[in-house]
Amino acid sequence: MSIDDPLRDEDELLAAELAFGLLDIADRSAAEARLENDARFAAAHRRWQSYAATMATGRDEAPRPSIWQGIEARLPANDTKPVTANRSSVRWWQASTFAAVAAAVVLAVVGLQRSPLPAPMVAQVQPAAPLVAVLTGASDKGIVTVSYDPASGRLTSAPIGIDVAGHSAELWVIPAGQSPRSLGVIAAGAPGWTRAPATAAPALAVGATLAISVEPIGGSPTGAPTGPVILTGKVTTV
Amino acid sequence: MLQEAYLSVWRRAASFDAARGSAMTWLITLTRNRAVDRLRAGRKVITTTIDLADMVADERPLASTVMETSEDQARLAYCVGTLEKGDAVLIRTAFFEGSTYAELATRAATPLGTIKSRIRRALVKLRDCLA
């Protein structure tokens, strides 16, 4: 699994202990200091972190919907108090929201026009960088944040304030100039993740449009959107 | 606490380094660390008793309804399944509840040395299985 020589067992164990949070403060500080200047130790630590994280994804514990309302209220863009968090993060949030809204407006007005050539992600970035999109629509339709990790094929969705009562929310990717391809039905009330279908995954690239339509329970019966599109957004890199 | 973690994801998304691991690992690690930091800052430590004699393997299905089981997960689930009864629970408890060796020993009413060697043995087994 490691491309380097195996670490000494003792170091391998220390990396695991650090990743799982077993060490007391003194030992932890010492081990963390090693991460900075011991590349092999750091690589072992990352590997154990990913094991730990994989164990975590097996836990079927979705946050309560109220969590998302709380987050929405506390996001910097909604702050009514002076913002004490650092400014750049605020701009980042505002910029991405603005970009998504702008994309939605452009889409609504001129339809699917040719967008700038999507960058060939795979050739440029090693490993492929995660992609994100913030999907927005009319102010009362909520927001869905979608991220996609090309390395694992995992697609996560985090909805805020989505209400499709009695229907399913289906996520689509729309490559420039082509018809929508389904990415599946997303949970409307809680974050979730799924594997991007092989038919649609290649379309997930910078510049592609994501959209959410309201469909009968279980998703569109035709393979194309049949209900109204309530949210759209453009795919960008993190 | 969960809100804190997700907000912190928003604020720190720019610091994400794709070369250093998958987005999901980053997200989960950040979430977990925020949770444990929060517990410790409030001087709260989970002290629920762990009964090693009474432990059963975690039978919970690995896949939720909205998630397919990936190869990684299937493999890890298999390897975790090969561990001695209770060991997987100890490792998970450390990660999810932020318990160190010393705290696990107290919770399980077991000498620190015993807990340590038990978990280390399990970690080696896990690594050999996953390698």
* Residue contact B24–A152, C-beta within 8 A: yes
B10 touches chain A (CB under 8 A): yes
Contacts of A49 (CB under 8 A, 6+ apart): A19, B21, B25, B29
**Per-residue pLDDT reduced to its tens digit, A93-132:** 454 544 454 444 433 333 333 344 444 444 444 457 788 8
Chain B residues whose beta carbon lies within 8 Å of the beta carbon of residue A122: none
Note the pLDDT of residue B30.
66
- Cβ atoms < 10 Å from Cβ of A40: 17
pTM of structure: 0.45
DSSP state of A152: T
Tell me phi and psi for residue B59, to 5 degrees.
-90, 0
B68 touches chain A (CB under 8 A): yes
B91 touches chain A (CB under 8 A): yes
3-state secondary structure of B74: helix
Note the pLDDT of residue A219.
87
The ipTM estimated for the assembled molecules is 0.70
Mean pLDDT over each residue of chain B, to the nearest integer: 70
**Per-residue pLDDT reduced to its tens digit, A70-95:** 666 666 554 444 444 444 554 454 54
DSSP state of A140: G
Measure the CA–CA gap between A84 and A81, rounded to whole angstroms. Answer: 9
Contact A172, A212 (CB under 8 A): yes
Judged by phi (left if over 0) then psi (alpha if -120 to 50, else beta), residue A125 lies in beta
- Which secondary structure element, helix H or strand E, spans residue A19, and what is its range? helix A9-20
Chain A residues whose beta carbon lies within 8 Å of the beta carbon of residue B131: 1
Residue B118's alpha-carbon distances to B45, B57, B88, B112, B122, in angstroms, are 22, 16, 11, 10, 6
Measure the CA–CA gap between B85 and B97, rounded to whole angstroms. Answer: 19
Find, among A88, A94, A7, A77, the residue nearest to A46 by Cα. A7
Domains and CATH numbers, chain B: 2-42 (1.10.1740.10), 63-130 (1.10.10.10)
Chain B residues whose beta carbon lies within 8 Å of the beta carbon of residue A16: 123, 126-127
